[in-house]
Amino acid sequence: MMTGAIDIKKEAAPVQERAVGPWLEGWRSFKKSKVSLVGAGIVIFFILLAVVGPFIAPQGINEQDLAKRLLAPSGEHWFGTDDFGRDIFSRIIHGARISLWVGFFSVILSVIVGSFLGIVAGYYGRWIDTIISRIFDIMLAFPSMLLAIAVVSVLGPSLQNALIAIAIINVPNFGRLIRSKVLSVKEEEYIVAAKAIGMRDSRILFSHILPNSITPIIVQGTLAIATAIIEAAALGFLGLGAQAPAPEWGKMLADARKFLLNAPWTMIFPGIAIMLTVLGFNLMGDGLRDALDPKMKS
């Protein structure tokens, strides 16, 4: 008995070592690329900022001090103050929460809607596929920013509606991705087998097809967060996103335009904040693509 058990262990051990899951393997190759690690570092930094920001910011979002209007950066106000005497450094820290929130949730929303439509189109095919695919074609035929502006003008300008507009314009990208994945997986033998033993469609979709689509969604999603953050800032800048007095970075830039000449710091720092966050997600997305999905390498 004893020897038998040991034997099994001996045999099982090397197998376990070889069978490194795709995630661990992905992490190993992700870790190798310094650039992706820098990206992940930036992303984690801004996530932390969004979480603990309100507790560490030297001032509140709307703490005004009219005696201290448009002060240049100094020891007291690292990034200077704006035209209401508000501390720009504090506002940028608070703004991280808004930008990340829009970035994450708009992408999650488009992934959910896109996956649903993509799965339905790819799995059921025929006329449903034709209709959904044509709608995707039509949506992708519009320049995305223009479509986002049109959607926000219907819903009314607010941060939440900007989030919805950004989610809508990204739906076809994820929809197409999932659809093509479903089409390629659908013909695999194990799916045919699952069907043959009478597995329900919903079960096949959720336990076989969806897990197969996870990696491209993660890669595409990370890069989409970067774009979504820029688009949210752009809508805020045009006055169609976050409204005053929210410390949204794009809105801060729009308000700072008047002071371009005499108080450039009101403009420089929010811009750098946007750029760094977006850069972080782009670097991380590139790294994830190379690590998780070598076929997608550009």
Partner 1 sequence: MLHYMGRRLLQLIPVLLGMTFIVFMLIRAIPGNPAQVILGQQATKEAVEALNASLGLDKPWYTQYFSYLTGIFQGDLGVSLRTKLPVSEEIFPYLAATAELAFFAMIIAIVIGVNAGIISAWFQNSWFDYTAMIIALIGVSVPVFWLGLMEQWTFSSKLGWLPTSGREDVRNPITAITHFYLLDTLIQGRFDQFIEVIKRLILPGVALATIPMAIIARITRSSMLEVMRSDYVRTARAKGQKMFIVVYKHALKNAVIPVLTVIGLQTGLLLGGAILTETIFSWPGIGRYIYDAIGFRDYPVIQSGILIVAFIFIMINLIVDLLYTVVDPRIKYK
Residue numbers at the binding site for partner 1 (CB under 8 A): 35, 134-135, 137-139, 141-146, 149-151, 153-154, 156, 226, 230, 233-234, 237-238, 250, 253, 257, 260-261, 264, 267-268, 270-271, 274-275, 278-279, 282-283, 297-298
CB of 291 to partner 1, least distance (A): 17
CB of 188 to partner 1, least distance (A): 29
CB of 24 to partner 1, least distance (A): 27
Q: Which residue lies nearer to partner 1 by CB, 70 or 205?
A: 70
CA angle 194, 197, 201 (to 5 degrees): 50
Q: Which residue lies nearer to partner 1 by CB, 59 or 282?
A: 282
Q: Give a three-class secondary structure readout of 84-103.
A: CCCEHHHHHHHHHHHHHHHH
CB of 166 to partner 1, least distance (A): 14
How many alpha carbons fall within 13 Å on the CB side of residue 56? Answer: 10
CB of 268 to partner 1, least distance (A): 7
Q: Which residue lies nearer to partner 1 by CB, 163 or 274?
A: 274
CA distance 106 to 100: 10
Q: Which residue lies nearer to partner 1 by CB, 183 or 275?
A: 275
Q: Hey, which residues does 81 pair with through a beta bridge?
A: 87
Q: Which residue lies nearer to partner 1 by CB, 163 or 283?
A: 283
CB of 10 to partner 1, least distance (A): 44
CA distance 282 to 298: 14
Is residue 96 within 8 Å of 225, Cβ to Cβ? no
Q: Hey, which residues does 103 pair with through a beta bridge?
A: none
CB of 106 to partner 1, least distance (A): 16
* SS3 state at 242: coil
Q: Where are the alpha helices (DSSP H) in 125-261?
A: 126-140, 144-155, 159-186, 189-196, 201-204, 210-237, 249-256
Per-position b or e across 255-283, b if 16+ CB within 10 A of its CB: bbeebeeebebbbbbbeebbeebbebbbb
Q: Hey, which residues does 87 pair with through a beta bridge?
A: 81
For 15, 68, 70, 112, 294, the CA distances from 215, given in Å and listed in that order, are 24, 50, 47, 15, 11
Q: Which residue lies nearer to partner 1 by CB, 203 or 258?
A: 258
Q: Which residue lies nearer to partner 1 by CB, 151 or 194?
A: 151
Q: Which residue lies nearer to partner 1 by CB, 137 or 188?
A: 137
CB of 64 to partner 1, least distance (A): 24
CA distance 292 to 295: 9
